[in-house]
Amino acid sequence: MNLGAEYSEVEKPLLDQLVGLGWSLVEGDKWDSSVTGRESFRESLIEPRLLAALRKINPGPDDTPWLDDSRLSEALSSLTRTEVGKLIEINERMTERLLEGVPGAGLPRWDQGRSQRVCFIDFEHPERNDFLAVSQYRVDEPGGQAKRFVVPDVVLFVNGIPLIVIECKSP
């Protein structure tokens, strides 16, 4: 990590401000993906945080859990499976999923078994969401290029989903 003016005058104050606003902070590691809760640098989502958040922000009847492993896997797949189409169309579909959620198989004892909406972000109760800032978040480029990767200065996650990438520049 560059500890010059870019870090001390831009990145560090930003991280301090985020922590002051209640965000958790993790310092990434360019050589160990587990520091950020991932099995490999090819993953962009932080799945353990996402799965925990989905359980928390999607309560079932009487606030009992209803998202079992199968339902969680299906919701996760809606964010990770390869999409076809033009980039703008894919972005529109993904944005819609993030804003509105995806349908999940219901429970027989709940709403007559109708499918229920699995939300990725709780907009009605933002305090239920998990906010994480990761400094120096390495992501390997797709296509099997082992030595090609990017390391944004700061990535902001809501419920394990990367939503904002920040590149800090020296003043």
The 10s digit of each residue's pLDDT in 21-50 is: 999 999 999 999 999 999 999 999 999 999
- What span, in angstroms and rounded, lies between the C-alpha atoms of 164 and 59? 27
Q: 1-29+128-171 adopts what CATH topology?
A: tt1808, chain A (3.90.1570)
Looking at this protein, which amino acid is placed at residue 61? P
Please check the confidence at residue 2 and state whether its pLDDT lies above 60.
no
CATH 3.90.1570.50 domain locations along the chain: 1-29+128-171
Residues 5-11, mean pLDDT to the nearest whole number: 90
Q: Quick one: residue 47, left, alpha or beta (phi over 0 = left, psi -120 to 50 = alpha)? A: alpha
Looking at this protein, which amino acid is placed at residue 145? Q
Question: Using one digit for the tens of pLDDT, what is the confidence trace for 139-155?
Answer: 998 876 667 899 999 99
pTM of this prediction? 0.90
